[in-house]
Amino acid sequence: ADSREETVVDGGSLVFVSMFGFLLISNVRAEIKRKVELKKLAEELGTLTNHLQEKVDEQTGDIKRAYEVEKSSRLELEDLGAIKNKFILETEKYLSPPIRNIKSNISLVLQDRSAELEEPLKVSLNKINDSTTRLDALVGEFVEITNV
């Protein structure tokens, strides 16, 4: 009877240990499978991270190049603006005094000698006077543009 009981106990223990072993092996396999998947996902994440960093570096380079082009263009535009302003001021400096002298002299002739002048000459002098007035105003507008 003892041997039968021992056999049953041994058999029961064997079944229990076999089932426990089977469950343990199944869990180990599942854990290995999860670790393999996790490793694969980590590698993909690393690849994506590297690719993303490459894209960020590329975009950063593009932005830096665009900034340098914009900066260079802005400086060139500022230089051209300064040259334009200098040109206009120099033009005013050299044109205004002679224009004003011509206008002043014509005005004096028209005021002082109007009676002595023939009509065609008066008309011509008035046209010259009007033209110098417009030219003086135009030079003044150029100077105002540089002050804006």
Residues near 103 by Cβ (< 8 Å), separated by ≥ 6? 129, 132, 133, 136
Give dist(CA 139, CA 135) in Å, integer.
6
What's 118's DSSP letter?
A: -
Is the distance from CB of 91 to CB of 99 less than 8 angstroms?
no
71-101 tens-digit pLDDT: 999 999 999 988 988 888 888 889 889 999 9
Tokens of 22: 């089977």
Give dist(CA 16, CA 13) in Å, integer.
5
Identity at 26, one-letter amino acid code: S
Tokens of 3: 């041997």
Residues near 105 by Cβ (< 8 Å), separated by ≥ 6? none
> Residue 22: pLDDT band by 50, 70, 90 thresholds?
very high
Tokens of 74: 């802005």
Per-chain mean pLDDT for the chain: 91
What's 114's DSSP letter?
A: G
- The reported pTM is 0.50
